Amino acid sequence: MSFLRVAVISPKLYLADVGKNVEVISQLIHANRDAAVLLFPELSLTGYTMGDLFMQEALHKAVLRGIERLKEVVRESIVIVGAPLWYQNRLYNCAVVMQKGKILGIVPKSYLPNYREFYELRWFHSGKNIKDANLLDAPFGTDLLFEDDDLLFGVEICEDLWTLKPPSFDMAAAGANLICNLSASDEVVGKHTYRKDLVLSQSARCICAYAYASSGVGESSMDLCYSGATMIAENGALLAEGERFGLENQITKADIDLQKLRYLRASETSFAQSEVPSYRIVKTASLKRVQVPNRYYDPTPFVPKHKEQKHARAKEIFAIQSHALARRVQHVGMAKMVIGVSGGLDSTLALLVCNEVCKLLERPKSDIVAISMPGFGTTNATRSDAKELARLIGADFQEIDITKAVKQHLKDIDHANQDVVFENAQARYRTMLLMDMANKVGGLVVGTSDLSEIALGFSTYNGDHMAMYHVNAGVPKTLVRYIIEWVAANEKDFAPVLQRIIKRPVSPELLPPSDGEIAQKTEEIIGPYELHDFFLYHFIKYGASPKKLLLLATLAFKEKYGKDEIKKWLRVFIKRFFANQFKRDAMPDGVKVGTIALSPRGDWRMPSDAQAKVWLEELEDGSSD
C-alpha cells in the first residue's frame, strides 16, 4: 500500500550530558520500533544551547562515543539524530542517519542563523558546498539522499527551511518524497503559527511529506524557551502535531502515503519539468510498510467539516457556476435560460444558478423558462415544489405533461414493458421538449446532471445526459445539498421549499409511485452517493487502486458500512465508471468548480472501450487481505 510510519520525537534533554541523552534516545528507539523512520531534533546528542562548550575537546569525544553506542541500538528503523562533528578542522552542525548498526550518511547544515538570538557562525561552518566527502567512514555532505524502494528522503536542519531557497526544493526535484528536518527553534509569540505554515507550505510546494522535530524545554532557559514542537505534514495537510512545552518525551507519529505523493507529482503538477540536481543515493536496508494506516480519512472529502468552511465553499462554487453560465448567456446573445424542473436536488440547484445569473446580468426573472414535465413516476410533492420554487423566483413557469406523448411513442415502437426503454423514453422526450422550447423562445437549455451522475453514467444518453450548458457538471452529489442549504440561508423566501427538497430522497421518478410515494430511490439502485463520491475522489485525485479504495473506505465508513457492502458498491462504481466513458466523451460544456472534473476536453481522458478487468480482478484479489 506504500504507507510508511514516521515518528518525530523531542526527547527529554539533559544539556551537555551526552551519555544521558544517548540513554534516553536509545530507550525511545526501542519503544518506537513500529516506525520506519525516527527523527530527533537538531544537536540532540548535546543540546543546541551549548555556546562555547561546542569547541571543547571533551564534548567532541563524548559525541563520538555516543554515536558508537547509538549504532549498537539502531536496527531495522532509520534513526536520525543531531550532533556537532569536526571535519577538516571545522565544526559542523550535522544530522547523522543510522540503520542496522552503522552510519548511512552525515548531512551538515547549509544555512546558519546569525541574527538576533542566534549566533551559530561563532561555532559552526556552513556545509552547503560539501559534496563527495566522507566522515566517520560514511558519506558526508549536502548531496545525500537515502532510498528504499518507493521511499527517497532527504535531510534539512532548522534554518535550511527558513531560507530563501530551502535545500528541500532540489531534493524534491531529485525525487525525494520525504524531508526530515532536525530543528532547535525557540519560542516567541506568534512564531509557531509561522513555523507551521512553513512546514505545510514546503510539503505542498515539494509535493512531499515533511517531518519536523524541534528541541524541548530541556534546552537552556538563560534567555530563551524551547517548546519541543513536532509536526508531520503531507502535501500541505497536517497529519499529526505533538503538544508543545512538555517536560517529558514528546512523540508524534503519522503514516505517510507514498503512492499518493507519486500520483500527485505525475498528474497534477509540472513536477516532471523540474531540473534534476545530482545527488549521491544511499541505499538503506528494507523498511517496514504499514498495511493498515493509522490516519483519518474524511468520509465526505468533497464537503468541508466546519460550518464556516462549508458556507465559504458553497458561496465560491455558486459564484463559479453563476458567472460561468452568465458568460455563456452573454456569448449566445443574451439568450433565455430553459430548464427542466422536477423538484429534485440537481434541477433545484441549476434553477437557483439561473436566478443568480438574472441578478448578475440585471435581466428579468421571466428570462428563465422553467418547465415541469410530469410523467408516470412524478409525485405530487415534487411537482408542487418545482412549481412553487419557480413561482417564488419569478420564472416563466410552464407545465407540460409528457405521459400522453410517451405512451404514443411506446405504442409506435410496440413496447409495453416498464423497463429501461420505458424509463429512457421519458428522459429523451423531456430533453427533446426542452431543446425545441429553447429554439422557440431563443434560449439555451441549462443541464442539471451533477459530477457524481456523470462519473457513474446515471443518465439517459441523449436524454438528461444532454444540454447546451451543464452548470452542475463539476459539483458532486454530496455537495449539492449543502449549496442549496447555503442558498436557503441567504434567500429566506425560498427556505421552506428548499428544505423540503433537501430532505427528499434522490430519484429519477420514472416508475409509477407506490401509494403516492417515490417508487424509485437512486441510492437503492446504484448505491450510496457518499460511497461513490469517496471512491471518485480518491480514484481520480490520487490514483488509488481498487484494493486501496476498499481499505480507505473501510476506514472512513467503519461506523456505517461493513467491508462486504463497501466492496459490493465499489464493484458497481468500477463497472459503471468504465462502461460510461462514451457518455462523458459526448458531454456538453460544463464548468469545473473543484480539482476533480470529468470533461474529456480538460481533466479526464480515457478510451470509451477500455476494459475494467484489471481493476475488478485486483478488487477480488484484495478481498482476503
Q: Which residues are catalytic?
A: 42, 109, 158
> According to the 3-state scheme, what is the secondary structure of 156-171?
EECHHHHCCCCHHHHH
Other C-beta atoms closer than 10 Å to the C-beta of 608 total: 14
Q: What are the phi and psi torsion angles at 133 (to 5°)?
A: -105, 170
Q: Do residues 347 and 316 touch, judged by C-beta distance below 8 A?
A: no
- Under a CB-based contact definition with an 8 Å cutoff, are residues 566 and 553 in contact? yes
Q: Under a CB-based contact definition with an 8 Å cutoff, are residues 26 and 33 in contact?
A: no
Cβ atoms of residues 523 and 529 within 8 Å: yes
Phi, psi of 223, deg, nearest 5? -135, -10
| CA within 13 Å, CB half, 86 | 13
Q: Identify the three-state secondary structure at position 399.
A: strand
In this structure, the number of other CB atoms found within 10 A of the CB of residue 353 comes to 29
Task: Work out whether strand 443-447 and strand 78-87 pair parallel, antiparallel, or are unpaired.
Answer: unpaired
Give the C-alpha distances (Å, rounded to integers) separating 486 from 312, 368, 482.
9, 21, 6
Task: Give the span between the Cα atoms of 623 and 625, in whole angstroms.
Answer: 6
Query: Burial level of 128, CB count in 10 A (0-12/13-18/19+)?
Result: middle
Give how far the C-alpha of residue 18 lies from the chain's centroid of Cα atoms, to the nearest Å.
Answer: 42
The 8-class DSSP code of residue 187 comes to -
Count of other CB atoms within 10 angstroms of residue 499: 12
Task: Look up residue 225 and give its three cell numbers.
Answer: 524557551
Angle 349-355-360 from CA coordinates, rounded to 5°: 125
- As a whole number of angstroms, the distance between CA 469 and CA 130 comes to 59
Burial class of 373 by CB neighbour count within 10 A (0 to 12, 13 to 18, 19+): buried
Instruction: Look at strands 138-140 and 3-10 and give their pairing.
Output: unpaired
- 368 contacts 355 by C-beta, under 8 angstroms: yes
Between the two ends of the chain, the Cα-to-Cα distance in Å is 11
d(CA 317, CA 104): 50
Q: CB burial class (10 A; 0-12, 13-18, 19+) of residue 426? A: buried
Q: Which of 262, 269, 298, 272 is nearest to 3 (CA)?
A: 262
SS3 516: coil
**Contact at 8 Å (CB) between 120 and 82?**
no
Please spell the DSSP secondary structure of 229-249, one letter per residue: -EEEEETTEEEEEPPSS-SS-
How far is Cα 46 from Cα 60, in angstroms, rounded to an integer?
A: 10
